[in-house]
């Protein structure tokens, strides 16, 4: 197949990569899928997408989005990459194999909106897209087979190598490695038949064909809306939109929520779009203005994500699984038991207070007539908890002693009890009984004569 200019023909395909990465869903080693596209004229890589999920129209659209967009992010996100990724643009013809995924209405509709022609190779006709097949071999043999956790091409090459035991690379790191391989290695590899590097062939082709316009007749936001494969419907709460246990919000999104509440539509689910290759932000459809609102996640950095790099959707799935496991591992009955005990404590205090209040109401006049001290509701304040824990007096120079009542005081109280018992129902308590029940005995014995001349307070005398 002879081509005469860049972007005249672009080949796209996918394959399982010869390496095991840590799958965030299971925490076990798993092979990722690589969707890859190259320019037939220069043999230069145009874009790629990596996923653990089976390939579908979403993955193909993500790769196409990467092909169309300029790779201006390289220096900021991947500083160890030494060169620029110069190849990008809208293909004139996009060549697929004969797969149901490629023939889906979703992929065809996206290509039609962008003005891209499509071609589907017949079955068993790999020679029609030999360039992309050769690139898969180059990536595996020159890059992926040298990584920890590689499975090699077959069991004979693998031998006794423990691929699963060596697998610890994450998706984010693997994508970084792919950028290094495609920009600094493959793009600068020599094309023997044309006696030039792939990058030089791309630049020379653009210079010889000045009519080629790399700029796409769509804005970046429009391209994302057409090709972003993540789509869902979510309710908008006061915390924003929830995707994989993560909250996305923005001031503009909160204005939309206020408008929905005003119109009585707060329970309506909104359409949400997001990029599977970078989930740091999402887009929520505003039905009033007929456009998408961008919302951001501000908690990713606190959770340890490298927000300077694109956060893959699988990374969010991994974090969501950790949260789910933490919730499932807790004792759900513990909260129920604690709430039941709280109700028991409240019930006991309620009964105690009512009983004490009734005693006050019945005896308040008698106590005033006899010039006796009015009863006080006793309890332990938070200031005294530390002293209870330590078993010590309240202060070094103040010791409170609860002495035994003198015999005459005891006899007087007993006489009052016998007289008042005849007038009251046996189920009610007297003030004296309650006062007696609130006394706290000392946990240690002290000889008063041995104490120095501190300020000593006596109770019960």
User: Mean pLDDT of successive 10-residue segments in the chain (461 residues)?
Assistant: 90 94 85 95 95 89 91 91 94 86 74 88 74 91 92 86 90 93 94 88 93 76 76 90 90 94 91 86 90 87 77 78 75 82 86 68 66 57 52 49 48 64 50 44 49 50 45
Domain boundaries, the chain: 10-225, 228-329, 333-459
Q: What is the pLDDT of residue 184?
A: 95
- HEC string of the chain equals CCCCCCCCCEEEEEEECCECEEECCCCEEECCEEEEEEECCCCCEEEEEEECCCCCHHHHHHHHHHHHCCCCCHHHHCCCCCCCCCCCCCCCEEEECCCCCCCCHHHHHHHHHHCCEEEECCCCCHHHHHHHHHHHHHHHHHCHHHCCCECCCCHHHHCCCCHHHHCCCCHHHHHHHHHHHHHHHHCCCEECCCCEEHHHHHHHHHHHCCCCCCCCCCCHHHHHHHHCCEEEEEECECCEEEECCEEEECHHHHHHHHHHHHCCCCCCEEEEEEECCEEEEEEEEECCCCEEEEEECCCCCCCCCCCCCCCCHHHHHHHHHHHHHHHHHCCHHHHHHHHHHHHHHHHHHHHHHHHHHHHHHHHHHHHHHCCCCCCCCCCCCHHHHHHHHHCCCCECCEEEEECCCCHHHHHHHHHHHHHHHCCCCCCCCCHHHHHHHHCCCCCCCCCHHHCCCCEEEEECC
Residue 109's CB: how many other CB atoms inside 10 A? 13
| 10-225 CATH choice from 2.30.30.30, 3.40.50.720, 3.30.420.10, 1.10.150.650 | 3.30.420.10
């Amino acid at each position: 197949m002879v081509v005469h200019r860049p972007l005249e023909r672009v080949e796209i395909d996918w394959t399982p990569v010869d390496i095991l990465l840590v799958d965030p869903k299971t925490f076990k080693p798993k092979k990722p899928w690589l969707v890859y596209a190259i320019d037939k004229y220069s043999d230069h890589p145009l874009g790629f997408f990596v996923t653990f999920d089976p390939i579908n129209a979403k993955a193909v659209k993500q790769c196409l989005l990467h092909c169309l967009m300029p790779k201006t992010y390289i220096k900021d996100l991947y500083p160890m990459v030494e060169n620029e990724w110069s190849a990008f643009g809208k293909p004139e013809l996009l060549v697929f194999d004969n797969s149901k995924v490629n023939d889906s209405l979703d992929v065809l509709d996206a290509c039609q909106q962008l003005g891209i022609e499509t071609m589907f190779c017949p079955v068993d006709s790999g020679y029609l897209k030999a360039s992309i097949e050769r690139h898969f071999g180059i990536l595996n043999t020159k890059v992926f087979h040298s990584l920890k956790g590689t499975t090699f091409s077959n069991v004979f090459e693998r031998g006794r190598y423990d691929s699963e035991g060596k697998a610890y690379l994450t998706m984010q790191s693997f994508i970084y490695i792919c950028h290094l391989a495609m920009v600094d290695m493959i793009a600068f590899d020599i094309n023997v038949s044309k006696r030039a590097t792939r990058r030089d062939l791309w630049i020379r082709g653009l210079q010889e064909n000045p009519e080629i316009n790399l700029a796409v007749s769509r804005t970046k936001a429009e391209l994302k809306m057409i090709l972003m494969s993540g789509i869902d419907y979510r309710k908008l709460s006061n915390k924003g939109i929830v995707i994989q246990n993560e909250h996305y919000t923005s001031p503009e999104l909160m204005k939309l929520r206020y408008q929905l509440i005003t119109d009585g539509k707060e329970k309506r689910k909104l359409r949400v779009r997001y990029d599977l290759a970078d989930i740091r932000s999402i887009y929520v459809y505003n039905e009033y203005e007929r456009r998408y609102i961008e919302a951001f996640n501000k908690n990713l950095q606190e959770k340890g994500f490298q927000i300077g790099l694109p956060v893959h959707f699988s990374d969010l799935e991994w974090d969501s699984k950790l949260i789910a496991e933490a919730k499932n591992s807790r004792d759900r009955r513990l909260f129920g038991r604690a709430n039941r005990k709280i109700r028991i404590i409240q019930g006991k205090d309620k009964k105690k207070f009512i009983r004490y209040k009734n005693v006050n109401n019945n005896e308040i006049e008698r106590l005033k007539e006899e010039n006796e001290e009015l009863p006080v509701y006793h309890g332990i304040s938070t200031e005294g908890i530390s002293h209870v824990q330590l078993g010590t007096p309240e202060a070094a120079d103040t010791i409170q002693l609860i002495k035994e009542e003198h015999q005459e005081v005891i006899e007087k109280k007993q006489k009052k009890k016998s007289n008042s018992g005849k007038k009251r129902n046996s189920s009610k308590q007297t003030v004296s009984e309650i006062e007696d029940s609130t006394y706290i005995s000392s946990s240690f014995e002290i000889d008063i004569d041995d104490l120095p001349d501190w300020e000593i307070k006596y109770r019960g005398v």
